[in-house]
Structure 1
């Protein structure tokens, strides 16, 4: 019984690492992340369109792009986008709070507090 491998690189043009695939032809995400921490999936460059294609990931298993398997294609690591990137500034959706609106809000809140809390008997 021979073990089959898939070639993976962190980025295009970098040295590849061969990772073992499972008997069902899938690659475990845990195997990929063991060599490339932080990787969330795989992608590859389509030889016909030259576009980047993503590899399907379901329940921790990466599936080959075709029925023929992984082939001799070099697959690239896909990392999550930086969550700390700067988002475009949006116009405010509500007017700024002013002293008069704070007073009005305080009056509304006070309306719902029972009077017994404010008028307690003092002995």
Structure 2
């Protein structure tokens, strides 16, 4: 694991989540939609998601303790931050990039049923 990845895993989800929300709100989407895709990805309830954000849970812990990772998350493909998601070996980094990709799709106006791979 390189130094940059190690720093990302130790960052709090809340420190990045605010940027996810800002990104989608600029494009006419909402925090509720960011919460929805995050819950879909991880299986967290809304209350547990809010607690993780308030507690400044790290990305590593957030994904390690996800109650029900969605089996359909493997359908999330493509390039995010210059990296092809399906080629990411480290499990935590792949989960972070799944979330990045879902937020990116929201911001691009993709319909929620498509974002959630329905």
Q: Return the TM-score normalized by structure 2.
A: 0.24
Structure with higher strand content = 1
Larger Rg: 1
Comparing both structures, which one devotes a greater share of its residues to helix? 2
Identify the structure with bigger relative contact order (alpha carbons < 8 Å, sequence gap 6+). 2
User: What TM-score do you get using the length of structure 1 for normalisation?
Assistant: 0.23
